[in-house]
Amino acid sequence: MTLADRVREAVGAVTDPELRRPIGDLDMLREITVDGEHADVGIALTIVGCPAADRIESDVRRAAASVAGIAEVTVDVGVMTPTERKALTEKLRAGRPARQMPFGPDSLTRVILVSSGKGGVGKSTVTANLAVALAAQGLAVGLVDADVHGFSIPGLLGIPAGTQPTRIDDLMLPPVAHGVKTISIGMFLTGGEAVVAWRGPMLHRAVQQFLTDVYFGDLDVLLIDMPPGTGDIAISIGQILPHAEVLVVTTPQAAASDVAIRSGLVARQTGQRVIGVVENMAAFTLPDGTVVDLFGSGGGAEVAAALSVPTAGADQAAEVPLLASIPLSPALRTGGDSGVPVVLGDPEDAAAQAIQSLADTLAHQGRGLAGRSLPMSLS
Ligand SMILES: Nc1ncnc2c1ncn2[C@@H]1O[C@H](COP(=O)(O)OP(=O)(O)OP(=O)(O)O)[C@@H](O)[C@H]1O
Ligand SMILES: [Mg+2]
């Protein structure tokens, strides 16, 4: 092996922070020459002004300099030609044709929708924390903010306003926050756009596009933060992802349970499987031991019990468990406000622990084929 080969090997192992693959595999290396102790390394980035450019350049410089015998490194940063880029997007799609949604029934990714009947019960907060907790366990996690009218995921994960997915031709690379590949309609709005006016077909197209054109790579879990209720988006997602699993979030309040139950039943009608109920804003304990149940108690168990009753026509036999009861917690709220989810920022907090244990439960469940009708063919 020549010195130049060793430099090529070291540099090729640098990972692209957005694509999360070694740049050698992504054909981003160009000419590499060594003159004495000086290495001259050519790399080709996907697009001009790629946000990851500085990081790749410094990682490449460090990798080259780490090779024994190299004392000085020059990095020439170029841009891929349209042909090179096309080859790259084809490689990333791994043979899957453009415009095909990768999360169909054959996919190995678990798709979990987080939905609720009522708004404001903490879906987004729970989803953001759950995603981060799962990623912290080493799972490859994607998060789609499907709340087109009330997107909140970028803020909850501390993604700066104005952050946009990087585009490589027609592929979009989701920003990565706390280890979670995240996409939200909020990233496509340039201020003051009238999303309010979006109706069924436009919403359907937006969601379809998220799921098709965003390059998530191989994910273990894709979480989808749903808007409240059972409106157009829920129906579209029901059509696009009929095999998805659903977590129903509710508060402990009896009045919230009815709508939560209904949202679970509607999801089930599209073929989705309700895998559990999450009760949020449950009682918390003051330092002196006093228990404060601001929103009452028992709502989560009630929703779980109601959704465990088999419904005609739906093939769900399994019981729907109450998977978590998350207490009211100032730290959970402030973590959301500051963009550092409480499971990372204050893992000892009672709400953080409840979400952590929810993540552990889900992570150990596998894909959960039980109770699901598998497509059968006799040909
Ligand atoms: N367990 C909790 N303790 C304290 N505050 C909470 C808790 N859960 C959520 N919150 C706060 O409640 C508010 C609503 O939460 P969030 O936005 O996550 O709800 P949502 O169900 O996603 O709402 P929407 O229906 O509008 O999408 C937020 O300000 C959040 O910080
Ligand atoms: Mg929300």
- Predicted confidence (pLDDT) at residue 196 exceeds the cutoff of 70: no
Ligand 1 atom closest to the CA of 329, numbered from 1: 3
Beta strands in 14-100 (DSSP E): 29-35, 38-45, 72-79
pLDDT tens across 206-222, in order? 888 888 888 898 899 99
Ligand 1 atom closest to the CA of 121, numbered from 1: 21
Closest ligand to C-alpha of residue 118 is 1
Is 3.40.50.300 the CATH number for 110-365? yes
Q: With beta carbons less than 8 A apart as the criterion, state whether 85 and 168 touch.
A: yes
CA 284/CA 328 separation, integer angstroms: 6
Mean pLDDT computed over 149-165: 90
**What's the mean per-residue pLDDT of the chain?**
87
* CA 276 to ligand 2 centroid distance, Å: 18
Highest mean pLDDT among 22-36, 174-188, 189-203, 302-316 belongs to: 22-36
The rounded percent of the chain whose pLDDT value lies above 70 is: 90
pLDDT of residue 343: 97
pLDDT tens across 231-269, in order? 888 888 988 998 899 999 999 998 888 899 998 988 888
131 or 184, which is more confident? 131
The β-bridge relationship of strands 245-250 and 166-168 is: unpaired
Put simply, whether the predicted model's pTM sits higher than 0.95 gets the answer no
* CA 144 to ligand 2 centroid distance, Å: 12
pLDDT of residue 368: 47
Q: What is the DSSP letter of 175?
A: P
pLDDT tens across 84-113, in order? 988 888 888 777 776 778 898 888 899 999
Closest ligand to C-alpha of residue 247 is 1
- Nearest Cα residue to 246 out of 216, 228, 273: 273
Count of Cβ atoms closer than 10 Å to residue 311 Cβ: 12
* CA 153 to ligand 1 centroid distance, Å: 11
Pocket of ligand 1 (CB under 6 A): 116, 119-125, 147, 150, 152, 228, 280-281, 326, 328-329, 332-333, 336, 351
* CA 328 to ligand 1 centroid distance, Å: 10
Ligand 1 atom closest to the CA of 128, numbered from 1: 18
- Binding residue numbers: 117-124
pLDDT of residue 377: 38
353 or 235, which is more confident? 353
CA 40/CA 138 separation, integer angstroms: 35
Residues of the chain with CATH 3.40.50.300: 110-365
Chain length of the chain: 379
List the CATH code of the domain at 3-93.
Answer: 3.30.300.130
* CA 120 to ligand 1 centroid distance, Å: 5
What residues contact 277, with CB distance under 8 A and at least 6 apart? Answer: 247, 248, 249, 250, 260, 264, 300, 303, 304, 307, 320, 321, 322, 323
pLDDT tens across 280-291, in order? 999 998 889 899
Q: At what angle do helices 232-240 and 254-269 cross, to 10 degrees?
A: 40
pLDDT band (50, 70, 90) for residue 21: confident
- Binding residue numbers for ATP: 117-124
Residue with token string 């080493």:
138
Phi, psi of 45 (to 5 degrees): -90, 165
CA 43/CA 202 separation, integer angstroms: 40
- Predicted confidence (pLDDT) at residue 367 exceeds the cutoff of 60: no
Mean pLDDT computed over 56-81: 95
Residues of the chain with CATH 3.30.300.130: 3-93
Highest mean pLDDT among 5-14, 141-150, 160-169 belongs to: 5-14
Q: With beta carbons less than 8 A apart as the criterion, state whether 23 and 30 touch.
A: no
pLDDT of residue 252: 94
